[in-house]
Structure 1
Amino acid sequence: MEFPISSTVAAFLAPVVAVAIAIALHEVAWRVLQRLFRPTNAPVLSRVVRAGRTATRFALVFAALLASVPALPLPATAMEMLARAVGIGFIGALGWAVAGKVGAVFDAYLDRSGPNERGFEWRRRRTKLTVFRRLALLTVLGITAGFMLMTVPLVRTIGISLFASAGVAGIVLGIAARPTIANLIAGIQIALTQPIRIGDSVVVEGEWGNVDEITSTYVVVRIWDDRRLIVPLGYFLEKPFQNWTRDAPNILGSVMLYVDYSVPIPALRDQLRKVLDSTSLWDKRVWNLQVTDLKEHTMELRALVSAPDAGTAWDLRCLVREEMIRFLTEQYPGSLPRERLDLARPASGAAGERLASMESGVGANGQT
């Protein structure tokens, strides 16, 4: 009676031993790879090795269990259910590990630029890598979920029947997933052609803001007052919008002034230059003050200034408005827009006599 008991115990101990060996091998391999690929000599590979360590350990553990489960003295039904559960766990852990490694590759290239180098090229590369990273992770997730579902007999049967009627199923799935597929294709087009990039200053639906995030289906625009505008990816391929930083972040800003015809233009032009020289908001590229229109009662002036980015341009325009109005108020108060009304006294006649009598009838206290 001792021999069957010892063989049964050994059979149940086999998975435990296999798991212990898998964990030990994983630890040894991880330490060896960590010493071989360091951040100094192989920054990308070292990040890939460090990423998904737990997922890789679980995948090896499930692989060891999958190899040792057939040795267990269990009924056929229980053996089948256990093997299926372990197989699903192995597929899930393997997909988790692959997703971690793939994400690490993209993250390593995203972080290759330092904080002082994050200009136009960095935003262009970040947009491409961000979109393709999400697509790659979605692909890994879809493949993993598909393999996990195919291990279930009922789901596998349904899948075979769907393939048998691929025409009807394809039409139904195509109609149902049309928005999602369209946005995924739009994401690929945006990543390649880049009408927008992460960090671009855009005007969408009358709102000005910066592109904060590009996902696989929508774009998050952070508006100037910290609201978030969620826009589908297809919008940027189907409708017009303004991109203020398409080629370069620097931008021109205009300030409109409406003054009286008597204002001295050279004095205003000198004051504008003094204001620009006194602030760091101006990038010293462009400045100008011109008379752009002559209206019935006022003269229209346009001050043109340049700034390194859209946010700085807004602050600079506000500063120019404040300083120019202050200058006009203090130095040339008569040059501000005003309405004139001249009342001419009649020289003679009955109307003149009546007006004179009315003026003489007004007392010192304002009463007649």
Structure 2
Amino acid sequence: MTSVMTALPAAVGAAAVALLFVETVHRVTLRLGRRSPLAADLARKLHRPFLISVTLLAVQQAIRIWAGDFPGRSGVMHALVLCCIAGFAWLVGAMLLVLEDMTLARWRTDVPDNRRRRRIKTQVVMLRRVTVAGIVVLTAGVMLMTFPAVRALGASVLGTAGLITVVAALAAQSTLGNMFAGMQLAFSDAIRVDDVVVVEQEWGRIEEITLTYVVVQVWDDRRLILPTSYFTTKPFQNWTRTGSAVLGTAEIDVDWSTPVEPVRGELQRVCESSELWDGRVCVLQITEATDGRVRLRALVSANDAAALWDLRCLVRERLVGWIWQHQRAALPRLRAEVEAVAPEPVRVGGHAGPGPSSDAARVFSGGLDGDTRGVVFGGPVPAASERKE
């Protein structure tokens, strides 16, 4: 009873001192936070884990030093050790998250030409997930190792660790593959958060990258969820791999009689009058001339994929309206030649020129080359005696 009466005041006194110390540090940090964003973030996010960790450590040390032997001492001390381990793991995790948040705040992505910033953001987000998972696993392992029975069990488990590893790897092959693919994507710079990609014939933006899946925000606000291994095993288009500026086309079919130079001048005026155009490329070319019509292709450029889509629609709309207003004769036409032809007399026997009976109309027969080709594709040619039969 005397030991218990000694332990309680010691624990209360240690907790009071710890609370006073933590509160003093917190106020000092808040004062520093008026000038430093890092100090303000530390004061806001580390106050609670720091308070719990320091208080538990002070109580545990006070009982260990000043309290004598009392019933349940070992259990109380073991519980305090477990709580201290969990508290300090929480504190370390919070500190790492603060540093990662500061990195993200410094390298913001809402600025022009943010390719490098998006790469850093992707890597920091992936490291945050790995860090949290690693801290949880290590904390659980350290807490389990405080139990003597678990330490004894660990020696016997080492003998079968190889077999268990193989079985676990086979059972979680797909999951592990996606996890390694996620790490590969984070550091290979193949895709980054906010990259514009085309996957599964869908155009969208990389919204989130995790260790197991990637979220693509499609242009119509749908979400396409793909495993991370998809981006390491299948081809896809990344429109912002080296920069956000892209090229796009708008195609119009017109008649052969269309004067192209006035249309080219109208395209230049449309681009110069629009804030969507980045001033790099504005070209009009004829890319096809078939089936009685020609195809005009307007090639334009913009700073990003979203602006390019609107610019292509604008160019197509303005050119169609201008052609309808100024060159209506240039619209595609259907041409056909109609003439009366007198019937020719039917000839009996013979043909005026190469016909079905001519070697020029045969591919697999008639001539040495044709017979040889027929053997290859249709089997051996029968002999003359076999044909008569």
- TM-score w.r.t. structure 1 length? 0.83
Deviations 1:212-249 (A, max 9, x none): 11222222111101111122222222221111011110
| Candidates 90, 96, 116, aligned match of 2:90 | 96
Give the 5 Å matches for 1:109-124: 109-113=103-107, 115-116=110-111, 119-124=114-119
Q: Tell me the matched-pair count.
A: 340
CA gap 1:157/1:333 in 2 versus in 1, 3 angstroms: farther
Query: Alignment partner for residue 220 of structure 2, among 202, 225, 240?
Result: 225
Task: Give the residue type in structure 1 aligned to 2:268.
Answer: R
Distance 1:64 1:329, change over 3 A: same
Q: Is the 8 A contact 1:52 1:96 kept in 2?
A: no
Which contiguous aligned blocks of 4+ residues in structure 1 show a shift greater than 6 angstroms?
none
Percent identity, please.
38
1:68 positional shift: 4.0
CA offsets 1:257-298 (integer angstroms, 9 cap, x no match): 111112111121111112112211111110100111111121
Measure the CA separation in 1 of the matches of 2:15 and 2:61. Answer: 10
Residues 39 and 251 of structure 1, relative CA distance in 2, 3 Å threshold: farther
- Find the residue that maps to 1:285 and give its secondary structure: strand
| Displacement of 1:323 | 1.2
Q: Give distance in 2, aligned partners of 1:258 and 1:190.
A: 42
Look up the match of 2:20.
Answer: 24
Report what 1:363 is aligned to: none
Asked whether the equivalents of residues 246 and 302 of structure 2 are also in contact (C-alpha less than 8 Å), the reply is yes
2:243 corresponds to 1:248: yes
Q: Using a 3 Å threshold, how does the CA distance of structure 1 residues 288 and 59 change in structure 2: closer, same or farther?
A: same
| CA displacement 1:72-114 (0-9 Å, x = unmatched) | 7642xx4444333333322222111111100111110110145
Which structure 2 residue ranges, 5 or more long, are not aligned? 343-389
Superposed, 1:229-308 pairs within 5 Å as 229-308=224-303
Instruction: Give 1:106's match in structure 2, choosing from 100, 103, 107.
Output: 100
Note closer, same or farther for the CA distance 1:179–1:55 as it changes in structure 2 (3 Å cut): farther
Q: Report if aligned partners of 1:44, 1:109 keep a CA contact under 8 Å in 2.
A: no
The range that moved more, 163-172 or 286-295, is 163-172
One-letter amino acid of the structure 2 residue matched with residue 211 of structure 1: I
CA-to-partner distance for each residue in 1:144-190, whole Å, 9 max, x for gaps? 22223334556555544322321112212222343343333333322
Once residues 124 and 8 of structure 1 are traced to their aligned partners in structure 2, the CA distance between those partners, rounded to angstroms, is: 58
Aligned-partner Cα distance in 2 for 1:174–1:66:
41
* Structure 1 Cα separation of the partners of residues 228 and 248 of structure 2: 29
**Distance of 2:107 and 2:5 partners within structure 1:** 57
Give the 3 Å change call, closer, same or farther, for CA 18–118 of structure 1 in structure 2: farther
Residue 309 in 1 paired to residue 276 in 2?
no
Q: Would the alpha carbon gap of residues 177 and 80 (structure 1) be closer, same or farther in structure 2, given more than 3 Å must change? A: farther
User: In structure 1, how many angstroms separate the alpha carbons of the residues matched to 2:97 and 2:78?
Assistant: 28
TM-score relative to the length of structure 2: 0.79
Distance 1:298 1:117 in 2: 42
Select the residue among 185, 189, 193 that pairs with 1:194: 189
SS of equivalent residue, structure 1 residue 286: strand
> Tell me, what secondary structure is at the counterpart of 2:275?
coil
Q: In the aligned structure 2, how far is the partner of 1:94 from the partner of 1:221?
A: 37
1:117: Cα distance to partner?
A: 6.0
C-alpha distance after superposition, 1:29-76 (max 9, x if no partner): 3333444x5464x5446534543210111111222232345537642x
